Amino acid sequence: MFHKEGYKIIVITFAIVVAAVLLIDTFVSLAWLRMTLIVCTTLLLILILQFFRNPKRQTILGEHTAMSPVDGKVVVIEEVFEKEFFKDKRIQISVFMSPINVHVTRFPISGKVIYSEYHPGKFLVAWHPKSSEENERTTVVVENDSFGKVLYRQIAGAMAKRIVNYATLEEEAIQGADSGFIKFGSRVDVFLPLDANIKVKLNQKVRGGESIIAELTK
């Protein structure tokens, strides 16, 4: 299954690859060169298909748990001052996505969307310390009675030139459901209550909608 954000790019890439293969087969006489070029163009199509895949995830809904919103590697776990919405201290967990990761963004908790904002900005590399505040980004806050408020922020990077956010104010979010997409690599920051019990470690690989990143005592 492929994400709807990739349909247009997949069709265009498929057409380009087919045309390229036909031209290569017609005009390139050297067998080894012809085969090399055909393999390279085919690999391009495979990479595009791989990037826009949208696998089903078996989310186990939990009122007291927060799921990773994306696939990738945990690169930050620290207490920070969140300036945009909370304006107080929170625990930040950041997940970095490489171009080979699934790039679907999913709701970390169920609840009501109480904040959803887009911010234009720069395209610093995703691991730059100031990317969370200066890069193009979207910020979404979901609230429920059990976990409280959880903020997640999609952040563009040097390769990611488009962020898609589906979360709308007053929407009833479902944990693990599709809430957006980031094209071509970046990161997502999650801001949790200080009393959250963090369930992941630095450099741990996580899966969006399946990996529990934190829980609160019932």
Active site members: 186
Sign of the CA dihedral running 137, 150, 213, 6: negative
Which one, of 191, 2, 51, 188, lies nearest residue 106 by Cα?
A: 188
Q: HSE (CB half, 13 Å, CA atoms) of 166?
A: 15
If residue 20 lies in a helix (H) or strand (E), which one and from where to where? helix 7-27
- Return the amino acid letter for 31: A
Helix (H, G, I), strand (E, B) or coil at 114: strand
DSSP strand E in 145-192: where?
A: 148-155, 163-165, 172-173, 178-182, 186-192
Helix (H, G, I), strand (E, B) or coil at 145: coil
- Return the amino acid letter for 193: P
